[in-house]
Structure formats: structure tokens, C-alpha cells
Amino acid sequence: MPVLALVSAILVVTLEQYVEWKYGFAGLLGLLLLTVGVKAKSPGVSSAGAVLLALLVARPAL
């Protein structure tokens, strides 16, 4: 069990660092909103985070 928790923590930190490096502070904020919204079961907060991430990803195509 501790190995699974360690691997999960490493994966989460790596994902956060990649999003911040690729999309800056706005990407980190979107990921944070999405995560908090899912954990708090708040569809408004998670939707705001998902929309922000979608806009950042689609920005080059717009």
C-alpha cells in the first residue's frame, strides 16, 4: 500500500509540474480548480477548471 501511495504522489506532482511548465500559472489554476471541484463534488468549480484547461489547450488552434 505505501508503494502505491508513493507512486500516486509522484505521478500527481509530475503532472502538476508539466502543466505548470507547459501552460503556466493559468494551467496550474485550472488543474487545481478541477481537482478541488471533483473532490468537493462541486460541478461548478470542476467545470470552471475544465473550461480553463480546455481553453489553454485549444488556444493555439483559435
For 2-58, the pLDDT digits (tens) are: 888 888 888 888 888 888 888 888 888 988 898 899 899 999 999 999 999 899 888
Q: In angstroms, rounded to a whole number, what is the distance separating the alpha carbons of residues 4 and 43?
A: 28
Q: With 0-12 CB in 10 A as exposed, 13-18 as middle and 19+ as buried, what is 49?
A: buried
Compute φ and ψ for 40, nearest 5 degrees.
-90, 0
Question: Where do runs of H (alpha helix) occur along the chain?
Answer: 2-39, 43-58
Domain ranges in the chain are 2-56
The structure's pTM equals 0.72
CB 46 within 8 A of CB 31: no
Q: What are the residues whose beta carbons fall under 8 Å from the beta carbon of 42, sequence distance 6 or more?
A: 36
